[in-house]
Amino acid sequence: MYRIVKKRELAENVDEFVIEAPEIAQKAKPGQFVIIRISKKGERIPLTIAEKDPEFGTITLMVQRVGKTTFHLSCFEEEHIIPDVVGPLGKPTHIEKWGHVVCIGGGLGLAPIHHIAQGVKEAGNEITTIMGFRRKDLVFWEDKMKLLSDKVIVTTNDGSYGMKGLVTDALQKLIDDGVKIDMVITAGPVPMMKAVAELTKKYEIPTVASLNPIMVDGTGMCGACRVTVDGEVKFACVDGPEFDAHKVDFDELINRLNMFKTLEAEALKMFQKKHCGCGKE
């Protein structure tokens, strides 16, 4: 049984949950994720471990409300029990002392980026973090990333906070300023990761992306999460979720994320009809 120890709203439609899961907290390494199921009739969804506390036996998960399960989860308050949390899953991030690492997170992509940045810092790297949001009131975890990073650049699409523009604009500026970059690690919406990969490929900067395909079991038994990397089929849940961003077929990933879109919309609509005031819209 996995108890919610702490819950808070980070931004509109984004919640942070601290969950009691001592075994997972002990084992979790940067880049790994869990699969959770929140009710008897529920589905299994993957969520990245944003932070862990082995001493208190907790892990921190970040959840963006996009569909039925995430909206339903946002109704859960502290002390509520989540029936199933399994992990840590996936391969840990490969970390070495590269030199200067630029970590780029868009929205919920900050969850993997935060945990990875912890590992990257421990390995003695210099870190610049670029955090991308649509607008000011969606910004979160800037303080946490500042603790880990030598430099933090926040971008907003509309310029309401920090630098106006996209994460790639901030990255381009670093490159134009002649900053030496040894490694880029990125996580966030697929179009953003794709844009980052295209930019760094031009400058031949090694880049790793943490992918977010659809998953069911998360242990390599079904292949729902398969992606094409360097022309080969890989299962993101066991071979990843991180891959060489210059070799990922991002267009295929975007397409596969749409596979259940119609059904997902139907499920959300039904849920919100039944739970007024609970769907938080």
Contact footprint for other proteins (CB under 8 A): 23-24, 27, 37, 39, 41-44, 68-69, 83-89, 216-217, 219-224, 226-228, 233, 238, 252, 255-256, 258-260, 263-264, 266-267, 270
Which CB atom, from 205 or from 227, has the smaller least distance to other proteins? 227
Closest distance to other proteins from the beta carbon of 223 (Å): 5
What phi-psi label fits residue 213: left (phi over 0), alpha (psi between -120 and 50 degrees) or beta?
Answer: beta
237 appears as a binding residue in the annotation: yes
Which of 165, 53, 40, 155 is closest to 109 using CA atoms?
155
Closest distance to other proteins from the beta carbon of 95 (Å): 17
Euclidean distance between CA atoms 39 and 37, whole angstroms? 6
278 appears as a binding residue in the annotation: no
Contacts of 50 (CB under 8 A, 6+ apart): 16, 60, 61, 62, 110, 111, 112, 114, 115
Which of 185, 210, 189 is closest to 96 using CA atoms?
185
276 appears as a binding residue in the annotation: no
The total number of residues shown for the chain amounts to: 281
Closest distance to other proteins from the beta carbon of 41 (Å): 5
Closest distance to other proteins from the beta carbon of 86 (Å): 4
Binding residues for [2Fe-2S] cluster: 222, 225, 237
